[in-house]
Chain A
Amino acid sequence: QVQLVESGGGVVQPGTSLRLSCAGSGFTFSHYDMQWLRHSPGKGLEWVAVILHDGSREYYIDSVKGRFTISRDNSENALFLQMNSLRVEDTAVYYCAKDGGYSSPDLWGQGTLVTVSS
């Protein structure tokens, strides 16, 4: 079954860290660029980070540069998002997604909720 399953969300205080994981199955994980997106009531849907299929390059939106790190382990079909120095405005449902060509994800996970609150 082709799917992505995220884990690692939760409620944390501002300034702390969280690591999200995403397990891919049913497709050749190492062949695809992967990405993290998020959905919040205030900002809607937005990309967070992208990593190329071989891990050779990463892209981040400005608001998370220097705080978040995307990584992958192709031997384990796994994608990660290390989130440091979390802010209230990082509160969102975070989705792992597989690139489906033309910079457009064709497979999404179910999402994991991250709540940053004091």
Chain B
Amino acid sequence: DVVMTQSPFSLPVTLGQPASISCRSSQSLVYIDGNTYLSWFQQRPGQSPRRLIYKLSNRDSGVPDRFSGSGSGTDFTLKISRVEAEDLGVYYCVQGVQWPYTFGQGTKLEIK
């Protein structure tokens, strides 16, 4: 299985400041069609996961533009340009290039 490794495990942040979460995959997430099958999800307390980013860097409808995804091959980053209170929760990177699709272990974004 493709192993997804996130860092840090916990990320204390100050509201209004930027934040960055890293994700590394055990193999390339570039599919035969040339696209990178890497997504990012947010799970707020008490809610279901919500997709923020798909295909490496594409924001889902309704996702604020302070969220951005980048990277290539096996190293990826989710950036929040200015953290707001509603951004607190757990963030997961996910690969969809090979079954079984797999999640990272999660990064908890919390107030410093």
Contacts and interface: CB of A to CB of B under 8 A. Distances in A.
B100 A104 contact: no
Contacts of B37: 102-104
Interface residues of A, number: 20
A37 B42 CA distance: 15
Contacts, number: 52
A102 B48 CA distance: 20
B54 A100 contact: yes
A102 B92 contact: no
Contact of A104 (B48, B94, B105): B94
Interface string B97-109: 1011111011000
B79 interface: no
A65 B21 CA distance: 34
B44 interface: no
Interface residues of B, number: 21
A2 to B, nearest CB: 11
Question: Most A CB atoms within 10 A — which of B92, B99, B101?
Answer: B101
Interface in A23-63: 44-47, 50, 59, 61-62
19 contacts: A44-B103, A45-B49, A45-B103, A45-B106, A46-B103, A47-B102, A59-B99, A59-B100, A95-B48, A101-B55, A102-B37, A102-B54, A102-B55, A103-B96, A103-B101, A104-B54, A104-B55, A104-B96, A105-B51
Interface of B: 35, 37, 39, 48-51, 54-55, 60, 92, 94, 96-97, 99-103, 105-106
Given A45-B92, A46-B100, A103-B96, 8 more contacts: A45-B106, A47-B101, A62-B100, A100-B54, A104-B51, A104-B54, A104-B55, A104-B94
